[in-house]
Structure 1
C-alpha cells in the first residue's frame, strides 16, 4: 500500500516498549523504517540503547521532555526533516515510522501534534505495551497508563517469555477488559511478537459487539465505561455539538470514544472515534451487520461520573448509561 504507517508506541514505565522496539529492529521486516525516541529525562537513555541496534536506519532522539506536552513542535519538525531527507535521496517514502514515547506520554496530544503533518500520507496507529503482571494495577492508579491503553489499536502483552509470567490467555483477558476495541498480541516468542505488533493493517476497526467484556469486570474504581445512546436520524450538527460538549465537559478525563451512529441524510452508519479530546473526521461505513450496535457510542473516561456525561448529552437528545 502507498503511504507510511506511523506507529505511536506507548506503554507505562517499564512495560517493555524498548524491548519490543529492539526485537522489531532485529527483524528483516524492519527495513524502510524511521525511528523516533522520546524520554522524559535530560538524557535519552532509551534513544542511546536503540541507536546501538538501529544500524543504518534513520534515528532521531527527542529528549526535551515528554513528547505529549513539551516537544510537539520538535516532533513535527523532526518528522518533516526525516521525510525531506528521504525524498532528497530519490527513495520511496518510508514504509513506516515508529515514535517510542516516554512512559508518561498520553497519546491524545501526540496525535494532535501530528495533525500539522496532514500533507503527508500517514496512517497513524497507537500501539501500547501491557505487562500482564502489573498493567491492570497501573491503569487503575495512573491516568497516563489508562490513557495509553484506552487509545491503543493494538495492545502487545510483554514479558510473556519470562519464567514467572502469567498465562497468555489471562493477560489477554485483562488487556481486552481495559480496551475492548484493541487487537491483542499475546505471543510468548519475542521475534514473532514484534512481527505481529507492527504488521500492516487497517487504521480503524468497528466497535465491539455487545457481548464483549467491559471495564467493570476488573473493578477499576477510577476508570468508567459508559454507553451514549445517540438517536437514529439526528442531523450531523447535533451529533457534532454533542461531541464538542462531551470533550469540553470531560477534558483530559476523556480517554476513548467510539461507536456507529445513523445520521440524517447519510446512507449507512457513521463511525465516530476519538482519542482523548481529539476526534477523527466522521467516516461513513458499509451497512452494519446484525451484531453491530448502531447508535451505541462507547465512552471510556477516567474520574468521570455518569451525571457529568449525561449533562453533556441531554441538550442534544443523547442519553448516557453505565457500560
Structure 2
C-alpha cells in the first residue's frame, strides 16, 4: 500500500480518514469546523528548551497555550473530550506542576475535569538536588455531562470475581460485573492488560521499539486507552501537537479518523512514513498491555557490582 492509497490530506476534508498538516497549530485549528472532533489528545510543549521550542516565561507560555485551548474547545463536540498530558516545567531549579496551572485555564472556559490520570514510567532523567521524576499526568476534561465513555472497553479483571452480596434483597447474588471492574484513575499495566491500577507504560527512550528522532515522543499505547474509552469507531481524534504521529496511529489502529498538525516539517514527514509503515504492517509498536520488563538478576547489568556490596541498600 502506498501513501496515495492511504490518502493523507493536508487540509481538513470530511471524506478523509487521515489529515496531517505541517503548520502553525493555532492557525490550523481555526480552519476546523466547530464540533467536529470527538477527542483532542496531546502532549503540548513543556517550555523546557527542546530544539523545537522557544523558551519563554511560564506566564507567556500559558497565555499562548490558552489561545490553543480556546480553539480546541470550539472544535470538540458537546459529547467530546480533551486529554491534556503534561509533566513539569522547571525554572531556576524550581518545579512548576503544569497540570495545576492548566486546570485553572480549562475551568475558566467551563470544562469539567473527569479524571487526573497518572502515567508512571520507570526511566527518565535523573536528578541530584531533588527526587527523580517518574510520572506525568493526563487531565481528562469534557465539555458537558453528556459525554462518550465506553466503560466496557476499559474494564480491568476483578480481583474477586466470585464475591457475592452478603445481605439485603440481593443476598447471595454475584456483586461484580462479568466484564470486570471499573478501573481507578491510577492504572498499571504489568503482567496483563488492565490488570492493576497504575498506568505503568514505558516512556519512549533509546531501546523502545517506537523510538524516532523526536526527543519527547510518547508511546502509542498511552493514546489507545483514551481512544477506546472516549470515542467510537469513525470518530475524529485530533492531536494539535502531532509530532511524529503517535496519537494518529493510536486512533487509526482502532478504526477512528485521525487529524494532526505540527510546525516541524521533519516530524510531519516522519509521521506520514510511520502511518504508511503501520498500514503495511511494518511499524514496530509496543503491544497494548505488554508487561514491563523486570530484570531477572541473571544479567550482569542488573547485578550488584562487587565494589558496592558493602554499602549497597537493597
What is the TM-score normalised by the length of structure 1?
A: 0.27
Structure 1 or 2: larger helix share?
1
The structure number with the bigger radius of gyration is 2
TM-score, normalization: structure 2? 0.27
Larger relative contact order (CA 8 Å, sep ≥ 6): 2
